[in-house]
Amino acid sequence: MIRLKEAFERFDAYNKNAPEIIIYESEQYPSEYFYAVKLYEWVIKLNPDASEALLLASRSQHIGRWEIARNTYPEGRIGYLKWRSDLSRFHAEKSGEIMRSVGYDQEMIERVGEIIRKQKLKTDPDVQTIENALCLVFLQYQFDELIEKLSEEKMIDILKKTWAKMSDPGRDAALVLEYSNAGKELINKALL
C-alpha cells in the first residue's frame, strides 16, 4: 500500500499543475486534481473492494488532460474522436511513467492502461466501474455548467449517451443524485 500511496501523491502533484480552477464549496482546486479525487471516491462507492489497478486508474484517468488541447484538432466529430483517442493513450503513458517510477511492474502498468483506455467496456468489470464513475462525476459536478452552454436538444442527446454507457450500478447511483430543477427536467425528458 506504500507504493499505491506514493503513486497517488505523484498523480495528484502532476494534476495540481492543471491551469483551470474549480471552485467547490468555497474552495479552489486545480480542475484535473479535483476530478481525479472525485472519480476515485466514486470508484470506492461503486466497488469498495476495487482492485489496485482500478484504484490507480481512477486517480490517473485524465492525468495531464490540459496538455493536449481540444482546439489543436479539427472541429467536428472526427476531430473530437481523434483527440479523445490520443488523450487516452497519453493518460495511459503518463500514468505508466509515474507507476514505473514508484516500482510497479509492467504487468500492472499494462492493466492500468487497459482500464484508462477503457478497453473491453461492458465486458471488463473494472472498465465498466470506471465508466460508471466517470459518468457520475459528470452528472454530479459538470452537468449543470453544461446546461448553461448547450441547447436542450444537445443536452438530452448527451444524457442519453451517458445513460447508455452506464451499467445498472451506475444508473442506480445516478438516479439518487441531487439535481437542479433544470437538470431534473432534462433527465426526465432524456429517460422517458
- How many angstroms separate the CA atoms of 62 and 142, rounded? 15
How high is the pLDDT of residue 1? 82
Name residues of the chain where pLDDT drops below 50. none
How high is the pLDDT of residue 158? 92
How high is the pLDDT of residue 47? 97
How high is the pLDDT of residue 77? 87
- The three cell numbers of residue 18 are 492543471
DSSP state letters, 101-143: HTT--HHHHHHHHHHHTTTTTTTSHHHHHHHHHHHHHIIIIIH
How high is the pLDDT of residue 121? 84
pLDDT in tens, 1-52: 899 999 999 999 999 999 999 999 999 999 999 999 999 999 999 999 999 9
- How many angstroms separate the CA atoms of 79 and 85, rounded? 10
Kindly indicate whether the domain formed by 2-191 is annotated with CATH number 1.10.3210.
yes
How high is the pLDDT of residue 192? 72
- How many angstroms separate the CA atoms of 138 and 144, rounded? 9
Which residue is it, cell 448527451? 158
